[in-house]
Structure 1
Amino acid sequence: MTQEWDEEYDVVVVGSGGGALTGAYLAARAGLDTVVVERTGSLGGTSSYSGGAMWLPGTSVQRRAGVPDSTESARTYLRALLGDSGEAKRETFLAQAPALVERLEEDPALTFAFQVFPDYYERPGRVPGGRSFIPRALDPAELGDALLALVRPPLDRDRAGQGNDPSAPLTAGRALIGRLLLAYHRTGHGTVTTDTVMDELVGTPERVTGIVATRQGRRVRIGARKGVLLAAGGFEHNERLRGVHGVPGRSDCSMAPAGTNLGEPVEAAVALGAATDLMHEGWWCPGVRMPDGQRAFVCGFTGGLVVDANGSRYANESLPYDRFGREIQAAPDRTPSFLVHDFRTRGKLPAVTQPPWGDPAAHLEAGTLVKADTLEELAGLIGVNADRLTETVERFNGFADNGKDEEFGREVDEFGHWFGDPVLHPVREAPYYAARIVLCDLGTKGGLVTDASARVLREDGTPIAGLYAAGNTSASFTGHVYPGPGIPLGTAMVFASLAADDMAG
């Protein structure tokens, strides 16, 4: 059927995170005219807020660093965690990860370095120190003013409505976005359009030929001669969809940037008959409330202890964030929880990964942090049983004095030691503090069902021609498990690259 388009390209990529830009770059590098369609004014989505870790096993990056990683050890590790679930996509991921990194590093804009960050489970195949790596920091001058203006600012500046600091290097997730954007721009075949909200696919249940989006109040039809890649994140900011699918938590507790990830691409594909899976799942984490009412990711508690509404500990505080988030979900009285600590922190959070906490006085004034001279007084301020809290803290202090957490083994796992030794500090000197801990997420984990080439599948398992999905727009092959740091980015990048290859023929 002949279509009338306002714009037409070979490839349309919806979204601008690490997966989306990897797919866009490789499509453009193959000579395909490509457009990145981003709903907000900045590129990067949740990827830009991340640490930029990529779980891509068996690559040249690990070999250069002397890390004893391999495709086979990663296979052993994933099989121990996942069993036979998602085996076809898992094998494709493992086979493609080294090849993808080799292709990316052919471009001088794309350079990576190993960084110690342990895998999240003690299982066969786990590599000491982990197997993830990160992008190297990027000088903003290398990007230039025009491209720098497209990259989402750091979380604190972004939430404050501030732009990028042109004198500050791009690091972590922003370095990944900046480097991919630079490589994409240099192909000469890449276009970026921002403030463009895609909510409709053009085509039939047999073939997709383009999208419809809203830009500056006007409906725009964008044709895709080769295909459409949906890599626009999940639906974590959509309270309606969370309710429909039973996703725990709340939309305002998600770490995705404001205005992103409302799920229109998933709904558009479902309208054409696409299948979905894992729609109740997410990538979980504990979070704290900030004085402005927003929530922020926190993990790796290096002091204090976390108690529930009864004043009892319920988990190892040094658990990886997704595992701790699942512990919060396990019982109603764990939301909210409280991080209890003492004078040694001076009101700062005893955690390795935390938001820009700022002046504790602002938190005390806002009630996001409470302070007391006794544990009994602290219990009253946070609404837990004083006797139970005191008993819990005294028991914890005994463990700390002996250097052994006999309740949850906080000092045992490599991941806990990554945060520094010792991981147990007694809580016994006033003033005492408590920060409220809530369930947050790094995004929803369910979405469109795809095959090993990232093609979107119908309910009967057959592909919809011309339609692909990657990242949190698709259902993760890791199911209910978060195996290691950077697997959301790593899998998004691999399957977006496979989509680009399929479109390039």
Structure 2
Amino acid sequence: MDADVIVVGAGLAGLVAAHELTSRGRRVALVDQENAANLGGQAFWSFGGLFLVDSPEQRRLGIKDSLDLAWNDWQGSARFDRVEDEDSWAVRWARAYVEFAAGEKRSWLRGHGIELLPTVGWAERGDLRADGHGNSVPRFHIAWGTGTGVVEPFVRHARQAARDGLLTFHHRHRVDELVVADGAARGVRGTVLAADDAPRGVASSRERLGDFELTAQAVVVTTGGIGADHDIVRRYWPARLGTPPAEMVTGVPAYVDGRMLDISAEAGVRLANRDRMWHYTEGLQNWDPVWPGHGIRILPGPSSIWLDALGRRLPDPCLPGYDTLSTLKYLRTTEDIAGYDHSWFVLTRRIVEKEFALSGSEQNPDITAKDRKAVLRDRLLGKGAPAPVQAFLDKGADFVTAGTLEGLVEKMNGLTGEPLLDAAGVRRQIEARDLQMANPYSKDAQVQGIRNARRYIGDRLGRVAAPHRILDPAAGPLIGVRLRVLTRKTLGGIQTDLDSRALGSDGTPIDGLYAAGEVAGFGGGGVHGYNALEGTFLGGCLFSGRAAGRAAARQTA
């Protein structure tokens, strides 16, 4: 045999699985269709958010969290409704993951040299119901070094294992078939692709040089989701989310193509919950793209006015930073706006300086570089927008600025090429909300949310602008931002048991076949159910990759 275990996919889940295997003395063949520059996959590009429960960071900030509260939030978000079938393992994975997040996750991360910023973000605040979707408290812990810093120790481990003779890299090897014989996984077959020295994330050549086959006692599939292939996204787009947009921006590199899902199904693997997916509604065209259609997501604070394509305020819970999929559903199912692929933020310079963060390691160079002085200078003590945000203001195709609301609306209409927005109608809505800012109490749900957020010191110091009128000239100029749907995550995938063993069509494990990360719905074929609480994607890769590596090591002992 060529190795004890073949790991397909050199992203975060694959690297974690490989680490668990090689640290136990197993020989690993790590196979990936991209070159060595892409070790770490999608995770390298991420902001580095990690979901933890009742952490020391939370407690220092006065946040009272608990396993019970987190599990209540997870269940309210997931809404598992296929527990006798596609959710049968997903719900067990969910409970195990929340217990991990409330238990050993932080110490395990620290054991790998992964540290956290002292502040905790409040992502995905939810649908405004105690038993519904969303985080009741801030749980979004940012890794020091962003996603790049999360990936780095596992890349280092893999390279050391290669030097020690325990791991062999097979870059530019694309798997086209899982070899299953007599009910057991025994290897992979595929295509050797031409060498390509394209930089990380840049779409690479698919020129074919020949074929290959590798054999092993076990195979671990960790190849990610479907986010880069808009045709596949549209194929599985669920009717409950309306019609998919004709145009979207892409939040993941081109190699996130979903191929291994169908290849696994052809080998007899059971796929679950393919209609569940996670796409953002605050996507921007990247002014400096790396991959085709490269989009960046705004991580918004709560203060921007959100308008649909016809200039009407979105209803709650479709508020900035609250409920991603409710907003997506509203925009794609409301009859008179579903034919448009954009919505709008209207905000002030004061809001953009305080509240706009951009997702991605490259959009947060101070945190990625672990530069404490730069973080303090630019985010807490500095004036003006952070440099990456300012670059989008200056160069981004989706931003317009004006001194008056009428001038802003004219530019917004100019950006779309259609006079869809009526300045008088937009003014009426903004003035109505501005009137709610005069008192410390309000009947407006968004204004209530702003004031609630500022009760939390982490938001008040670095994330939420002081309440003010949008039309206050002192807070200007006014800014309009065109938003598109940004493709991101697969929430369903290969159904696995708690040892990450891939299940066959009859629901029993296929001997020697494992799956982890996004291709497995981050565990069990859909650990998130219908909604994600954020900070759970990197953590899902870590947790499921760890489980797969440990289980495969036991099998091959």
Query: TM over 0.5, yes or no?
Result: yes
Task: Please point out which of 49, 58, 63 is paired with 1:53.
Answer: 49
Quick one: structure 1 residues 95 and 412, their matched pair in 2 at CA, closer, same or farther if it must change by over 3 Å? Answer: closer
1:34 aligned residue: 28
1:462 aligned residue: 508
Deviates more, 1:36-45 or 1:94-103: 94-103
**Alignment of structure 1 residues 10-25 onto 2, 5 Å:** 10-25=4-19
Q: By how many angstroms is 1:78 displaced?
A: 2.6
Quick one: structure 1 residues 135 and 239, their matched pair in 2 at CA, closer, same or farther if it must change by over 3 Å? Answer: closer
Quick one: structure 1 residues 367 and 22, their matched pair in 2 at CA, closer, same or farther if it must change by over 3 Å? Answer: closer
Q: By how many angstroms is 1:436 displaced?
A: 0.5
Listed one character per residue, the Cα deviations across residues 109-138 of structure 1 (whole Å, up to 9, x for unaligned) are 4555664123634747998863454444xx
| Residues 17 and 231, structure 1, Cα contact 8 Å, conserved in 2 | yes
**Alignment of structure 1 residues 254-265 onto 2, 5 Å:** 254-257=250-253, 259-265=254-260
2:538 aligned residue: 489
Distance 2:469 2:24 in 1: 55
Listed one character per residue, the Cα deviations across residues 23-68 of structure 1 (whole Å, up to 9, x for unaligned) are 1111111111123323223122221121222225477987999975
Distance 2:403 2:141 in 1: 44
SS at match of 1:54: strand
**Alignment of structure 1 residues 253-292 onto 2, 5 Å:** 253-257=249-253, 259-285=254-280, 286-291=282-287
| Residues 228 and 467, structure 1, Cα contact 8 Å, conserved in 2 | yes
Distance 1:124 1:369 in 2: 37
2:310 aligned residue: 310
Q: By how many angstroms is 1:19 displaced?
A: 2.1
Distance 1:60 1:361 in 2: 36
Quick one: structure 1 residues 101 and 360, their matched pair in 2 at CA, closer, same or farther if it must change by over 3 Å? Answer: closer
1:500 aligned residue: 549
Q: By how many angstroms is 1:263 displaced?
A: 0.9
SS at match of 1:241: helix
1:152 aligned residue: none
1:391 aligned residue: 428
2:446 corresponds to which letter in structure 1?
Answer: G
Task: Please point out which of 475, 494, 497 is paired with 1:448.
Answer: 494
Task: Please point out which of 175, 179, 198 is paired with 2:175.
Answer: 198
1:331 corresponds to which letter in structure 2?
Answer: T
1:227 corresponds to which letter in structure 2?
Answer: A
Listed one character per residue, the Cα deviations across residues 268-312 of structure 1 (whole Å, up to 9, x for unaligned) are 101112222222332232112234664211022365312112211
Quick one: structure 1 residues 47 and 324, their matched pair in 2 at CA, closer, same or farther if it must change by over 3 Å? Answer: farther
Counting aligned pairs with the same residue, the percent is: 20
Q: Does 1:341 align with 2:347?
A: yes
Quick one: structure 1 residues 123 and 255, their matched pair in 2 at CA, closer, same or farther if it must change by over 3 Å? Answer: same
Distance 1:245 1:127 in 2: 27
SS at match of 1:274: coil
Q: By how many angstroms is 1:386 displaced?
A: 2.5
Listed one character per residue, the Cα deviations across residues 416-445 of structure 1 (whole Å, up to 9, x for unaligned) are 763225355423437533111111133222
Quick one: structure 1 residues 393 and 96, their matched pair in 2 at CA, closer, same or farther if it must change by over 3 Å? Answer: closer
Deviates more, 1:288-297 or 1:432-441: 288-297
SS at match of 1:409: helix
2:232 aligned residue: 241
**TM-score of the superposed pair, with normalisation by structure 2:** 0.72
Kindly tell me the number of residue pairs found equivalent between the two proteins. Answer: 459
Q: Does 1:185 align with 2:176?
A: no
2:222 corresponds to which letter in structure 1?
Answer: A
Q: By how many angstroms is 1:360 displaced?
A: 5.8
Q: Does 1:427 align with 2:471?
A: yes
Q: By how many angstroms is 1:349 displaced?
A: 9.3
Distance 1:444 1:250 in 2: 19
Listed one character per residue, the Cα deviations across residues 366-403 of structure 1 (whole Å, up to 9, x for unaligned) are 75223445433433442312222121121122223435
Deviates more, 1:396-405 or 1:490-499: 396-405
| Residues 82 and 481, structure 1, Cα contact 8 Å, conserved in 2 | yes
Distance 1:361 1:79 in 2: 39
Q: By how many angstroms is 1:503 displaced?
A: 0.9
Q: By how many angstroms is 1:264 displaced?
A: 1.2
Structure 1: 5+ residue stretches without partners: 137-170
Quick one: structure 1 residues 204 and 70, their matched pair in 2 at CA, closer, same or farther if it must change by over 3 Å? Answer: farther
Q: By how many angstroms is 1:233 displaced?
A: 1.2
**Alignment of structure 1 residues 398-417 onto 2, 5 Å:** 398-402=435-439, 406-412=443-449
Structure 2: 5+ residue stretches without partners: 84-89, 195-207, 239-243, 364-387, 414-419
Distance 1:66 1:312 in 2: 37
Distance 2:406 2:59 in 1: 54
| Residues 396 and 405, structure 1, Cα contact 8 Å, conserved in 2 | no
Quick one: structure 1 residues 113 and 302, their matched pair in 2 at CA, closer, same or farther if it must change by over 3 Å? Answer: closer
1:340 corresponds to which letter in structure 2?
Answer: V
Quick one: structure 1 residues 435 and 269, their matched pair in 2 at CA, closer, same or farther if it must change by over 3 Å? Answer: same
Quick one: structure 1 residues 395 and 367, their matched pair in 2 at CA, closer, same or farther if it must change by over 3 Å? Answer: same
2:358 aligned residue: 353
C-alpha RMSD of the superposition: 3.5
2:527 corresponds to which letter in structure 1?
Answer: F
Distance 1:128 1:87 in 2: 20
Distance 1:64 1:35 in 2: 43
Distance 2:15 2:467 in 1: 38
**TM-score of the superposed pair, with normalisation by structure 1:** 0.79
Deviates more, 1:192-201 or 1:52-61: 52-61
| Residues 65 and 137, structure 2, Cα contact 8 Å, conserved in 1 | no
1:43 corresponds to which letter in structure 2?
Answer: L
| Residues 401 and 408, structure 2, Cα contact 8 Å, conserved in 1 | yes
Distance 2:100 2:443 in 1: 42
2:506 corresponds to which letter in structure 1?
Answer: D
